[in-house]
Amino acid sequence: MEDNDLILEIKRGCTDSFRTLVERYQDRVLNLVRQYLSDRADCEDVAQEVFVKVYRKIDSFKGQSSFYTWLYRIAVNTATDCLKRRRRDTSVSLESLPPVFDEAVSNDPAPEKSMMDEELRSRLAEAVESLPEPFKSVLVLREFEDCSYEQMAEILGCSMGTIESRLFRARQRLREKLTSYLRQ
């Protein structure tokens, strides 16, 4: 069943259709949220909050964009809201990195290489976390979620030019933050 058909059923009160929609997208939402939050419990809570919001706001979905884009926009906003709350309460630290970072690190079992890999993970996490929100969002959507520029523009509600500019600046800032470490 297509997303739009499920949405029509949900609007008519069919909870089974909503369950199907959640099952279809829960892993993708959880993976997206993990790019923002390191704590597994926080990720699961935010993902659940995303689907609660979707259920409550499903009547406002007009189908002008794909459901996937609408859902991702809600997920990005919910994750960034959680980060803002956490930053007000305490400082945020990433305990683990997204799986994408693991690919950049060697699997060499040598102890000193393992320590260097852990240091690289830590530096990457700090650098990504320290990016201002607009830059972090485009970087996460492009590099970790493999969204197209069109999808990012739709999800973030801005122009393609803005997406290109933010992505360029995000990569530039990330490079600046890591340059001194990578020269060692």
Transcribe 137-164 into DSSP letters: HHHIIIIIS---HHHHHHHHTS-HHHHH
70 Rama class: left (phi>0) / alpha (psi -120 to 50) / beta: alpha
Residue 29: which pLDDT band, with cuts at 50, 70 and 90?
very high
What is the pTM (predicted TM-score) of this model?
A: 0.59
CATH number of 1-92: 1.10.1740.10
User: Residue ranges of the domains in the chain?
Assistant: 1-92, 93-184
Find the mean pLDDT for residues 42-53.
93
What fold, for 93-184? Arc Repressor Mutant, subunit A (1.10.10)
Residues 57-104 pLDDT 10s:
999 998 888 898 899 999 999 998 887 777 665 433 334 344 444 444
In terms of Cβ atoms closer than 10 Å to its own Cβ (0-12, 13-18, 19+), residue 32 is: buried
3-state secondary structure of 20: helix
